[in-house]
Structure 1
């Protein structure tokens, strides 16, 4: 008997839906329909990934919970609620690997935009003002990439390729990493922050990383440095960030993710000089939905054939550990 699959969507379905339907008894659910359709399902595909609807619709009876939940995103923080995490019979997978190169390119674009003041150039063009001025080099500048997973590694390789000096920040310090060279943690992190011209956040959002960039970390950053966040908005305490930007201690920031999304119209970040705001689109390049759908389809085929699933998340840690797989679910 085919698995019963519920696809949580927001009006846009996976582009390979007919292939998915050939492998599973598939029903489609909006946020409003999910409480009715989720209980008793074997699989939940969160095609609409950043939503509280899954937690709000999760069956009270653990035997009615799906055996496998897949999220069409790299981040799984919205799914790390106790009833799912504590149920050992529920396997969680994500879309690790889909966004790596796209986000690395986006980070390079943001750094170039900040260093060359492209927003200022575009504003002068809009006003028909001819204002020659100097810009900054990025070659030889130091970038600290905070988050040493696949996205962080792709970012590090991209920035090294254009002549930037790169180091990493992660859970384990080491001096011979193939992508970062030196990886800092704990006591060695603050000196690295004081040396970095750009701090790039590419870490997952977990209880351990929530608001990891707080007032003390921002104060430890090099005067005139810039912050780039393509991880999760919850990594940053935005109130002290606004203060450090307003008083000029930090030269700017490029932010693709925010504590509250969409970013409220009243947020001062919208209008701050030296700040680039984008709507959580760093990984959304032409064909990205097809890539997400193909990854899920591959995993669905693995389940049908009884083979290990890709990208199994350690639900206690909140991310995929290298080499993690599950024989069956």
Structure 2
């Protein structure tokens, strides 16, 4: 919603809805694929194949890997459910700390990430872009992570400080990153991110599975019918917060 909301809209009585639920599963599958590709060194295998080089290596077992998902809305929750299904240990990071969450178990405060990221093998950003999440993943967060850790960003490019990530990767303070979103899109040809060690670039496609436009249209038509019938709409955005509160389960991003 960050590209749509402006001060006059926030202050107005206009109701805004979004595509809540449409992209949850596709993005969760993309995150799982990113974690599997990193653990099984698939991108490295592609480079070796290109160079016609046979190099035996050992890979990492995904079962038992620890994943901290930043953002506990619908997308974050679907990520958590899917990763738990393959045996990962998952925690969440959101606005409020809590225990016994149905999807995350433990939820820590996202404004205290530095205190918690050292636990994780994978750090996944699934937050909407708000003033609280802009630049959330920065040098302090990367410095607190283990050098074997992997960062996945499918939220918004501006939530991650790209220069700080680049420095961490070049210095070997992180093992890798999978970025689907960037501060500038398309990613400029001369961006150093293209050649950063351990970084995988994808073109903001994590939620775009075949048929996604049809699902959006169906959702819009269903909400239009509710509006014409005077019924409550689905996916109503809190324009002050910038997202659908309570998305996916109790609690909010």
TM-score interval for Structure 1 and Structure 2 normalised by the shorter chain? over 0.9
Partner secondary structure for residue 135 of structure 2: coil
TM-score (norm 2): 0.94
Show the counterpart of 1:78: 3
Q: Displacement of 1:186 after TM fit? A: 6.0
- Runs of at least 5 residues in structure 1 that lack an aligned partner in the other structure: 1-75, 324-329
How far apart in 1 are the matches of 2:142 and 2:171?
Answer: 12
Find the partner of 2:158 among 231, 234, 253: 234
Show the counterpart of 2:250: none
Q: Contact 1:156/1:179 (CA < 8 Å) preserved in 2?
A: yes
Q: Which structure 2 residues correspond to residues 1-329 of structure 1 after superposition, within 5 A?
A: 76-88=1-13, 90-185=14-109, 189-322=113-246
Instruction: Give me the CA root mean square deviation.
Output: 1.4
Show the counterpart of 1:43: none
The verdict on how the C-alpha distance between 1:266 and 1:187 changes in structure 2, with shifts beyond 3 A counting, is closer
Partner secondary structure for residue 68 of structure 2: strand
- Runs of at least 5 residues in structure 2 that lack an aligned partner in the other structure: 248-253
Show the counterpart of 1:45: none
TM-score (norm 1): 0.73
How far apart in 2 are the matches of 1:186 and 1:81?
Answer: 24
Larger relative contact order, structure 1 or 2 (CA cutoff 8 Å, min sep 6): 2
How far apart in 1 are the matches of 2:176 and 2:235?
Answer: 35
- The CA deviation string for residues 38-61 of structure 1, in whole angstroms up to 9 with x for no partner, is xxxxxxxxxxxxxxxxxxxxxxxx
- The CA deviation string for residues 20-74 of structure 1, in whole angstroms up to 9 with x for no partner, is xxxxxxxxxxxxxxxxxxxxxxxxxxxxxxxxxxxxxxxxxxxxxxxxxxxxxxx
Show the counterpart of 1:57: none
How far apart in 1 are the matches of 2:183 and 2:112?
Answer: 27
How far apart in 1 are the matches of 2:197 and 2:44?
Answer: 9
